[in-house]
Structure 1
Amino acid sequence: MRRLYFAAITYTVLGLVSGVFFREFTRATAFTGATQLGLVHTHLLALGTLMMLIVLALDLTLGLSGSRSFSWFFTTYNAGLVVTAGTLVWHGLLQVAGQDAGPAVAGIAGLGHILLTIGLGCLLFSLNRPVRARLAATETER
């Protein structure tokens, strides 16, 4: 639970800092077009902070953090989010500089999204046993 809490704090700080960076960097360079830098803020806050808080609530309710699949979720999901956010920053900086990103950036971003998907699958797998146990307990009480 502690790791989830600190991950939520970290993603909140990174999300807020990335929003300020986007605003100030594009203003300082007088950039007026669309850029991937604006997406970093929302990705970190939604996929980072909100997801970690939701999973923290699930962990408090169902006790997920003891399973091996939960550890796989936490590691894989966070790695995927860091890769995805890093690629968004890289692509956004290239856009502001007026350079083409090329296929390598898209490939690395795809890898980040694949890791996020694997992490979500591990989370769903780790939910299976506690949810079934909770349902069985509810049926027994009736």
Structure 2
Amino acid sequence: MKTLYNLALTWLILGLVSGVFYREWTKLADFTGTTQLSTLHTHMLTLGLIVHLVLLALDRGFQLSGHKLFSSTLWVYNVGLALTVTLMVVRGLLQVDGGELPMPDAAISGIAGLGHIIMSLGLAMLFKVLGDRVKQVSAAERQNAPSSPAMSSSR
């Protein structure tokens, strides 16, 4: 649970800093167009902060952190998210700078796409972990449920 809290806090700080960075960097560069930097703030807060806060609540109810795949799931998801937002920063800075791209635009999109794929793999792993835990809780509830009076009465 502490790991989830720390990840949520980290993404909160990064999300807030990215919002300030976007505002100040575009102001400093006297930039008025559209840039990928403008969406960085919401991506980090939603996919970073909110996802980890939801996982924190789910962990409390389903003990997700006790599952053998959960730690790997967090790593995979966060690596994918970090790669995605890093490429958003790269693209955004290039858009504000307006200079020559150091690599083909398709390369930036391709690497960002890999980040999305890695994040999707992390989400698939999360649903495996959550599904296993839901099955365990359901089985335990069925086992511990008192038998219904209508079922146990003999006529």
Same fold (TM > 0.5): yes
Q: What is the identity percentage for the equivalent residue pairs of Structure 1 and Structure 2?
A: 46
Once the 2 structures are TM-superposed, how far is the Cα of residue 68 of structure 1 from its aligned partner?
2.4
The CA distance in 2 between the partners of 1:130 and 1:106, in whole Å, is 36
RMSD of equivalent CA atoms: 1.3
> TM-score, normalised to structure 1's length?
0.95
Give the letter aligned to residue 108 of structure 1.
Answer: I
Once the 2 structures are TM-superposed, how far is the Cα of residue 138 of structure 1 from its aligned partner?
3.3
The CA distance in 2 between the partners of 1:127 and 1:96, in whole Å, is 41
1:36 matched to 2:36: yes
Match of 2:69, SS state, is: helix
The CA distance in 1 between the partners of 2:78 and 2:22, in whole Å, is 22
1:50 matched to 2:53: no
Listed one character per residue, the Cα deviations across residues 66-110 of structure 1 (whole Å, up to 9, x for unaligned) are 222212210000000100110000000000111456111001100
Listed one character per residue, the Cα deviations across residues 27-47 of structure 1 (whole Å, up to 9, x for unaligned) are 111111110001110111000
The CA distance in 1 between the partners of 2:98 and 2:126, in whole Å, is 39
Give the letter aligned to residue 17 of structure 1.
Answer: V
Q: Which residue in the other structure is 2:82 paired with?
A: 82
Q: Point out where structure 2 has 5 or more consecutive residues left out of the alignment.
A: 147-155
Task: Decide which structure has greater helix share.
Answer: 1
Once the 2 structures are TM-superposed, how far is the Cα of residue 52 of structure 1 from its aligned partner?
0.3
98, 102, 106: which is aligned to 2:105?
A: 102
Give the letter aligned to residue 24 of structure 1.
Answer: E
- Answer with 1 or 2: which has the greater Rg: 2
Q: Which residue in the other structure is 1:60 paired with?
A: 60
> TM-score, normalised to structure 2's length?
0.87
Q: How many residues align?
A: 142
Q: Which residue in the other structure is 1:119 paired with?
A: 122
Q: Which runs of 4+ in 1 moved over 4 A?
A: none
Q: Which residue in the other structure is 2:153 paired with?
A: none
Once the 2 structures are TM-superposed, how far is the Cα of residue 18 of structure 1 from its aligned partner?
0.1
The CA distance in 2 between the partners of 1:19 and 1:32, in whole Å, is 16
The CA distance in 1 between the partners of 2:76 and 2:26, in whole Å, is 32
